[in-house]
Structure formats: structure tokens, C-alpha cells
Structure 1
């Protein structure tokens, strides 16, 4: 293979890497609010050159995925290959009773961190997904509304809670509605992550490393008492591994 493109279609953003022999040549990251026919013109020029392979992880519906497959073939004359959740991949085992029901985004993130002996991977996006991996086995996880979804729920579900756009820089009790809302959401998410890790470490009898990814990771990271790594494009790392295109390290 020479050039490859890897796409991560999330609920609210689309990210992509243009790679050659595992090396990332160019990156693309925008809010996902456009029709698939509008996506290709929005790509940087480097992405529109000839490629040999297109790998995709998508949580979108079938209509959107089929539309992308059509425009991708029209643009590159290459049919995209789709990542899917499965019972086992390269010695990594899915913890779901029905492996197909584990979101492909979570599964690919699990693959990305599977070399760590015991790891919690937290995807901070539209939803906050907490997944545990121990000895290359997915051990289950939790899903709860993410930062923006919780904020929107408060705005649309109440009559008088109308916070301004806020920047959470501390978690002291808020002395305005804006502070109380933004800090309250963050402290709830931080508490969920730390409680989940604490309980898992007790069950495993060992320490668990923590990896944050996703667009909202920067809101949580500064307030966690647990040491952690932030890898914003972790899913694309896992997608390279899934399709066997990662560089040997």
C-alpha cells in the first residue's frame, strides 16, 4: 500500500488521517453537520489525491454510511472498508455477550489500548464512554451523557436555568448559575470516572492506567486526581491497528 485514509465518523465530529506506510501525513477534524456530498470538497487538497485504501469507523446510520461509500468511490475509485465489533481481534476479546452490540468506536478504542496490562479508556464526546481492558480482554464499561448533552438537557428541560458559555477552571461551588451548571457537570463526570476506576482497581487488585480521548477530554483532565494520558485521536490509532496498517514500533 502507499496512501491510506482513515475516517472516524462520530456523532458530532468527523476526523481523518492521511497516511503512508503508517506515518500520518495530514489530519482533518471538523464538526459533523454536513451532507456526505459536502464532505469531500471540505477535505484538504492532500486528501483528494489517489489513495489505495480507505478504512472507516462510523457510529452513523446506514443511510449516512452508504452515502459516504458512494461519494468515496466516486472520488477515489476505492470502496471503503468498515471496522466492526467482533468477538475477538488479534487476541483482544470483546466483553459483550453479543459482541456486535458494542459500539465500534468503543471497540476500536479498546484495541488501541490493548497492549496496556490494565487500562481504563474514557471517550469524552457526545456521550462519555468508560471502558476497561485487562490482559487484552474488554471487561465492560459505562455510558452516560457527555458534557454538551448534559448542558443541553438542563437548558431545554428547565424554564430558568440559562447559563452563559462558561470556562471551568476550578471546581469550587459556583456563585452564579453559569458557574454552578458548568462546574456541576464537570464534577459529576469526574466523579463517575474516578468512582469507576476505584471500583475496578479493587476488583482487579492492581492499578489501572487511564487514557482520555475525545473533544471534551480537556474539560475533565485538569480535575482528575488520577494520573492519565490524553490521546485526542486514539480511535484513529486503533483504526490503523485494526486494518493492519500501523507502523512497527
Structure 2
């Protein structure tokens, strides 16, 4: 028998490469998950089984779902199809970038054009470091480096190719594709072979962008997240707090803050 919906939330972060999710008790503190998971887009056909297993183990079906999607219509359709099976009674909201939400004022020239993942990450960072100037570096398929002021204004940021994209672009012309994963050994700054030189240069470019943003934002608190963060964080010249999945934390913070508010 399928459990009845209870005061439980399902958070979904559909990024360019993977779909991450977390199940949270509505009364739990920020970042406290009952269950969580992640899968590549090519494995989305297993999403129903994974969610059903988590719900059966916890004895809960979510009453509310908040999902951020930057991966396009196909991924959105797959998530919606899984929810029709796993949580047919849940209230589903697709997270979008609003002028104001959860204590963050969206300062983009056109607030709706800000990527919803970047807005969620700003909300998450603000919840983790309230009252501080913050730089959020989210290092995934693309690397985004964004700034939030101490009073909660998202003032903008920068987007550059992620570490794998950047190294791949160079390697296509050198036949020296670096293997980049969580176990990659960091090369010396001055590498003695092309493979390591590509990786060293790309790490320096990523770290330099983040360091420049921190300096421009008055020595702000830096939060780094994303799949490439374990490689980039050790080469930063500025202190940084490594946070797993800042977008998911932002979605959670948005729900903990209550309803949507487009005014300030």
C-alpha cells in the first residue's frame, strides 16, 4: 500500500548533467535530509524505482515538491512523469527566478532571465551566511560565480565554461584529454607534460575567476559547490567553504521561508 502524503518535501535539482533530489521533513533544519540521490540524465528511467524505494523506506510520500530545472523540456517531462506515479497528490512548483524570494532581492536587469539554479544557490548561500557579503562559486558543467550583498541583494555574476568543458576544448587540439574526476591528482602549477599543463591552466583560470570576484566584492565570504569543487577549492588563493549542492540547500531554504513574494 502506498503511504499517504504527509508534511514532507521533495526537492529536485535538475542540472545540465545530473538530476539530484532530496526528501526532507518539513520541520527539519536546513540541509537535513531523510533520503537523497543523484543520477545522470541517461538513467532517468530509474527515477520512479528510486523514489518509490526511498518513500517506502521512510514511510512517506511528499505533500509538496519544489523542482529547479535548467536541463530542458525532456528532463522536465521525465520528472513530471515520475511524480505522477510516485507522488500524484503532491503540490508541484517549478522554481523560477523572481524579483524577490526568501530574503534575496534579484538584481538582474531582467530578473526572470537569471538562471533558476543561480537564484536558488544565492538563496542557499544567504541562508548559510546571513548578513555577509557572499560570493557563490558553483562549479559544474558551467562555472557560475555570483555575488550577494550583506543585505541580501543578488548583484550579478559571471559564467565561464566548467573545468571539464574548459579542459576538453583545449585537449581537442592536443590529443591530451585530461581525465577529470573526484580522484584526479592535482598537477603542479608548472607542469612538465601537456596533460597536466592543460589541467593546471584550467584550474588556475577557475580559481582566478573566483578570486577576482571575492576581491571585487570586498573580500566576501566565499562558498564553493558543484562537482568540480573538490578539485578547484584546494587551489584557491582565498578562503572558501565547500558546500555540497548549494542549489538543493537554496530550494530547501525557499520552502522554509514560506510562500513566494515578488515584492520587497
| TM-score, normalising length: structure 1 | 0.88
Pick which of 133-142 and 49-58 moved more: 49-58
Secondary structure of 2:155's counterpart equals strand
Pairwise CA distance, 1:69: 1.3
Deviations 1:33-56 (A, max 9, x none): 23x443222447124552212111
- Alpha-carbon distance between aligned partners in 2 of 1:44 and 1:198, rounded to the nearest angstrom: 46
Q: Is the 8 A contact 1:109 1:238 kept in 2?
A: yes
Pairwise CA distance, 1:68: 1.7
Structure with higher RCO (Cα < 8 A, 6+ apart): 2
Secondary structure of 1:215's counterpart equals coil
* Partner in structure 1 of residue 229 of structure 2: 217
- Does the alignment pair 1:189 with 2:206? yes
Q: What is the CA RMSD across the aligned residues, in angstroms?
A: 2.0
* Partner in structure 2 of residue 30 of structure 1: 39
Structure 2: gaps spanning 5 or more residues: 1-5, 259-264
Pick from 169, 175, 181: which aligns with 1:161? 175
Secondary structure of 2:214's counterpart equals helix
- Alpha-carbon distance between aligned partners in 2 of 1:245 and 1:44, rounded to the nearest angstrom: 28
Pairwise CA distance, 1:79: 4.6
Q: How does 1:63-74 map to 2 (within 5 A)?
A: 63-74=74-85
Q: How does 1:83-162 map to 2 (within 5 A)?
A: 83-114=95-126, 115-134=130-149, 135-156=151-172, 158=173, 160-162=174-176
- Does the alignment pair 1:235 with 2:247? yes
Structure 1: gaps spanning 5 or more residues: 202-206
Secondary structure of 1:162's counterpart equals coil
- Alpha-carbon distance between aligned partners in 2 of 1:59 and 1:47, rounded to the nearest angstrom: 25
Q: Cα gap change, 1:219/1:73 in structure 2, threshold over 3 Å: closer, same or farther?
A: same
Q: Is the 8 A contact 1:12 1:33 kept in 2?
A: no
Q: Is the 8 A contact 2:187 2:196 kept in 1?
A: no
* Partner in structure 1 of residue 20 of structure 2: 15
Secondary structure of 2:97's counterpart equals coil
- Does the alignment pair 1:75 with 2:75? no
Pairwise CA distance, 1:170: 4.3
Deviations 1:107-138 (A, max 9, x none): 00111122242000000000000000002000
| TM-score, normalising length: structure 2 | 0.83
* Partner in structure 2 of residue 39 of structure 1: 47
Superposed structure 1 runs of 4+ greater than 4 Å apart:
none
